[in-house]
Amino acid sequence: MENDSYQRLAQVLDTIPNGYPSTDSGVELRILQKLFTPQEAELATHLHLTWETADEIAARVELVRDREDGLRTRAGECGPLCGGCDGHLVTPSSLTDS
């Protein structure tokens, strides 16, 4: 189910020092739905709190490199899971930083 990706991501984000607590209204899931596609949310659940190259993430998560490149390109254009020229992705901890 599509919503499962967002719930998993919210749970992962809530384990980091900044936290991402659940609410009765579910607003935290609606925020994630605005920021991520279901596929991006699923990928974000596999990120570590340290910088990793796209190749390292793809190998660990067993993604096909072309698939991961597509996510990185789209996210770099319009979302918080940003791929830069150096091939790094922003980690979940930086999604909650102001």
Quick one: pLDDT band at residue 27, thresholds 50, 70, 90?
Answer: very high
pLDDT band at 43 (very low <50, low <70, confident <90, very high): confident
* pLDDT at 60 (0 to 100): 82
User: Residue ranges of the domains in the chain?
Assistant: 2-95
Q: Which residues contact 89 (CB under 8 A, 6 or more apart)?
A: 47, 52, 54, 57, 72, 75, 81, 82, 83
Residues 44, 7 contacting (CB under 8 angstroms): no
Taking a C-beta distance cutoff of 8 angstroms, is the pair 22, 28 a contact? yes
Q: What is the pLDDT of residues 44-96, one digit of tens each?
A: 898 888 888 888 888 888 765 554 455 554 444 544 554 444 444 444 444 44
Name the pTM for this structure.
0.64
Res 22: pLDDT: 94
